[in-house]
Structure 1
Amino acid sequence: MQLEADNIRPAINRLKRAQGQLGGIIRMLEEGADCQQVVNQLAAASKAVDRASFAIVAAGLQQCLTAEEPEMSPEQLEKMFLSLA
């Protein structure tokens, strides 16, 4: 199933933000930053990726449920959703 770009634009933006955060984390590590600061940034990047993942799954569920002929079975949708747990 291919997602419509308009439906996942917020998720793309979150992932781009997380990408920037990861670059910052790498620089922090290379420069010997404080461990607590690094962990805080890792948590923020992880949360951004998680939120983007759930937004993508939600968009996929909505798109699939409103389609006349769904491309995925309920079991496949459940498996996709649970893969994030």
Structure 2
Amino acid sequence: MMTPDDPFIKDAARAFAKLVADSDIHAGITQTAEGIEEVAGAIVSIMGGDAVFSPGIASRLRQTASDGYRERLQFLKSISDRIGGC
């Protein structure tokens, strides 16, 4: 049985956050650091559904989602910089 601490669940949180980052960029939305943390919290809440994660697990999942969002922004910025540098 999978638990919220399972690597698959963490990967899902990271991937979900990357999709949200893609959507935000496409919509022209720029998140502040606090906004990214709110997005990460919402992702964990959506993933949990009716389940209640312990504070430690919820915190780790929020951090993973936040990292995923930032990774996508960094990736898109690096591509943009390369295209702009041509």
Normalised TM-score (structure 2): 0.48
Larger Rg: 1
Normalised TM-score (structure 1): 0.48
With CA pairs under 8 Å and 6+ residues apart, which has the higher RCO, 1 or 2? 2
